[in-house]
Amino acid sequence: MTDPIENLKKEFENYIVPPSWKDRVWEIEDFRKFREDILKDRESLEKWWEKWANEIFWFKKWDKVLDDSNPPFYRWFIGGETNLAYLCADWQIEQGRKNKVAIIWEGEPVDEKGEPLEVRKITYYDLYRESNRIAYMLKEKLGVKKDEILTFYMPMIPELPFYMLAVQRLGAKHSIVFSGFSAEALAIRIMDAGARIVVTSDGVYRRGKVVPLKPIVDEAVKICEREGHKVEKVIVVKRAGNEISWYEDRDVWHDELLEDISGNVEVECVPLGSEDFSFILYTSGTTGRPKGAQHSVGGYAVHLYATMKMIWDIQDDDIYWCTADIGWITGHSYIVYGPLMTGATSIMYEGAPNYPDIGRWAAMIERYGVTIFYTAPTAIRMLMREPEETFTKYDLSTLRIVNSVGEPINPEAWNWYYKVFGHNDAVVTSTWWMTETGGIITGHFPGLGKITPLKPGTNGFPIPGINVAVFDDDGNPVEPGKRGYYVITNPWPGMLMTLFKDPERYIDVYFGKYKSKGWYYYTGDFAMLDPDGYVWVLGRADDILKVAGHRIGTAEVESALVSHSAVAEAACVGKSDEIKGEVPLIYVVLKKGYEPSDEMVSELKKHLRSTMGPVVASDALITFVDTLPKTRSGKIMRRLLRAVAEGKDLGDITTLESDVAVEEAKKAYEIVK
């Protein structure tokens, strides 16, 4: 296997300029100066972000751009008031986009010719009306007030963005839980947010089948009740028509709630200030308890607006498509809020990329004339296994910017993406960011009129106004071409405000590592810079996995397994996988009286599915050991387990309690690999 770092270093001087950009190349040195100029002092930094803030709508403008009096709790646009719902609907109508299509939604089912059976084109006016009706219903019938948090467990259907905008309108907040999560994961998130209302659907179409969602909510609500938390209402959107159980005094159909509410109701859009937040989104950390990243209103909006312009160069005639699920941050920011607040036409697709066949996405790109496309490397690597003709038989020539996100993109996948989807002429970059950053942090910037050359596999540059660094353990910058810890060195508008109900953990997780040096945001990733200053993110440095781009905490996987009656201990690490990037590799110690067997593996997988959901369970590799390698102080040495899986040198093992465990791990690995 080639060393991934050496593989990337080969690309440091592989400068690629798409032919249609050849007269618009930004000399790297000039771009560096441009960025440095913005970052040179506080005044120019504030001026830069203020310029973007001035382009969006505010009920009331700010008095101060950045308040850093209580680091690391930075606040942006102090005194300013705006609202995401207003930006995404009302303001678009005011700008003359009333009848412009905001969302093109395509359902998964197809006819015998492979044509979609359901396409909904939702205009900005439709979006305005539907979100107003829902807001009215939530307020008048269910008593939803400003600041209440509602949990959404929904598939990719238009009602999801309608509900998102509806709660924003009321100044309420959403906590969206990815619909691939299990009942238990959902329950934990409902309880942590204290949600009394959950919105879901009966089911969803996925790979030609109906996948039920409502039963998972039923189960989650039961868990909540057992723990003493009452969910008062479950709103159900009818989507797949599957049969579901019904709890009379709790469940209510979305359609029935809206039946008597006219299409013309309007609900006042509540102005929200810099201390208000817009939503929380739970994400995995290195302990079992998920973290609720709490996002702002004004700063978040400005960050999304600026990146929609700089990274996506969004224009009124673009057809923009991000293939993520709205349940993750990429969908929040770049299917819903970012595209809608810039008046774009954004595509939303319900189903799987390979239904009815692997050409589905390419067919859709042709069908709608997609100009901007955003997907994950894992999807690209899956498509790459097919002959190019599978995709190039469709007209992909409309694509002008095709980016990726979620995990590092290997140069081979980048080259394929550039050639096949980008027809050797699109801007292609890997935009690095996280749930916590709110919006994109690195990439190329066609929206600024010129681009620095592309390089296969790179993350490009930090966006102007944001700076990053690569540090060693002590917080000293690492030289170009060397691996280190990736940090963001200054506050930025889209950054999380805090962790919901847990400010101490916010300080500790993101600003603890280099505390003695100053307030550096620690990303948890490894990265390197190249001699030109391009960023190359190499993967997680901590106990978080990216499985097919989905963020999974190994601690959560472990505690899920330990909750099975046969399991004494479990240790989960990432094993690299050609398509998925990483898959969970789990070493299990069984309790006395239980024996390893194939049946036990299937039993544990089943358990994993019901506790963590299918994303983790379907790719998990489970193997058995009698002991786990531990330090003398009793900590599991995951580093060793990872080294075993990568066939790497074990490094320093002086703290290891007994080397028997390593030998065992090696044997156990041979069985599953």
| 525 near ligand 6R9, judged by CB under 6 A | yes
Please give the structure tokens belonging to residue 12: 């440091």
Query: Of 91 and 521, which has the nearer Cβ to ligand 6R9?
Result: 521
Q: How far is the CB of 435 from ligand 6R9 (least distance, A)?
A: 3
Query: Of 62 and 320, which has the nearer Cβ to ligand 6R9?
Result: 320
Considering only residues 82, 132, 296, 435, which one is a binding residue for ligand 6R9 as defined by CB under 6 A? 435
Considering only residues 151, 168, 296, 431, which one is a binding residue for ligand 6R9 as defined by CB under 6 A? 431
Quote the CA–CA distance of 573 and 541 in Å, as a whole number. Answer: 12
Q: How far is the CB of 403 from ligand 6R9 (least distance, A)?
A: 8
Alpha helices in 386-524 (DSSP H): 389-392, 411-416, 503-511
DSSP 122-176: EEHHHHHHHHHHHHHHHHHTT---TT-EEEEE--SSTHHHHHHHHHHHHT-EEEE
Quote the CA–CA distance of 312 and 306 in Å, as a whole number. Answer: 9
Show the binding pattern over residues 389-408: x = contacts ligand 6R9 (CB under 6 A), - = does not: ----------------xxxx
Of the candidate spans 114-122, 174-182, 389-397, 517-525, the one that interacts with ligand 6R9 by CB under 6 A turns out to be 517-525
Sheet with 621-624: strands ordered across = 567-577, 581-590, 621-624
Of the candidate spans 413-421, 433-441, 513-521, 596-604, the one that interacts with ligand 6R9 by CB under 6 A turns out to be 433-441
Tell me which DSSP letter residue 335 carries. Answer: I
CA atoms within 13 A on the CB side of 601: 17
Q: How far is the CB of 432 from ligand 6R9 (least distance, A)?
A: 4
Q: How far is the CB of 49 from ligand 6R9 (least distance, A)?
A: 21
Please give the structure tokens belonging to residue 290: 């998920």
| 430 near ligand 6R9, judged by CB under 6 A | yes
Question: If we measure between CA atoms, which residue out of 643, 648, 644 comes closest to residue 669?
Answer: 644
Quote the CA–CA distance of 122 and 124 in Å, as a whole number. Answer: 7
Count of residues interacting with ligand 6R9 (CB under 6 A): 22
Show the binding pattern over residues 269-288: x = contacts ligand 6R9 (CB under 6 A), - = does not: --------------x-----
Q: How far is the CB of 451 from ligand 6R9 (least distance, A)?
A: 17
Please give the structure tokens belonging to residue 172: 């309420």
Q: Are strands 75-78 and 345-349 parallel, antiparallel or unpaired?
A: unpaired
Contact by Cβ (8 Å): 155, 179: yes
Q: How far is the CB of 454 from ligand 6R9 (least distance, A)?
A: 14
Quote the CA–CA distance of 251 and 215 in Å, as a whole number. Answer: 12
Which residues lie across from 116 on neighbouring strands?
Answer: 110
Question: If we measure between CA atoms, which residue out of 505, 514, 586, 512 comes closest to residue 543?
Answer: 586
Residue number with the smallest Cβ distance to ligand 6R9: 435
Q: How far is the CB of 84 from ligand 6R9 (least distance, A)?
A: 19
Considering only residues 434, 590, 625, 668, which one is a binding residue for ligand 6R9 as defined by CB under 6 A? 434
Return phi, psi of residue 214, to 5°. Answer: -55, -40
| 291 near ligand 6R9, judged by CB under 6 A | no
Q: Are strands 149-153 and 401-404 parallel, antiparallel or unpaired?
A: unpaired
Of the candidate spans 22-30, 415-423, 520-528, 582-590, the one that interacts with ligand 6R9 by CB under 6 A turns out to be 520-528
| 304 near ligand 6R9, judged by CB under 6 A | no
Query: Of 273 and 327, which has the nearer Cβ to ligand 6R9?
Result: 327
Binding to ligand 6R9 in span 527-556, by CB under 6 A: 537, 540, 546, 551
Contact by Cβ (8 Å): 430, 405: yes
Across 306-454, where does the E strand assignment appear?
319-322, 345-349, 372-375, 401-404, 442-443
| 572 near ligand 6R9, judged by CB under 6 A | no
CA atoms within 13 A on the CB side of 89: 26
Q: How far is the CB of 447 from ligand 6R9 (least distance, A)?
A: 18
Binding to ligand 6R9 in span 313-332, by CB under 6 A: 328-330
Query: Of 82 and 431, which has the nearer Cβ to ligand 6R9?
Result: 431
Considering only residues 452, 523, 554, 623, which one is a binding residue for ligand 6R9 as defined by CB under 6 A? 523
Which residues lie across from 644 on neighbouring strands?
Answer: none
Whether omega for the bond prior to residue 356 falls within 30 degrees of 0, making it cis, is yes
Query: Of 171 and 408, which has the nearer Cβ to ligand 6R9?
Result: 408
Considering only residues 361, 414, 432, 485, which one is a binding residue for ligand 6R9 as defined by CB under 6 A? 432
Query: Of 9 and 250, which has the nearer Cβ to ligand 6R9?
Result: 9
Site of interaction with ligand 6R9 (CB under 6 A):
283, 328-330, 405-408, 430-435, 459, 523-525, 537, 540, 546, 551
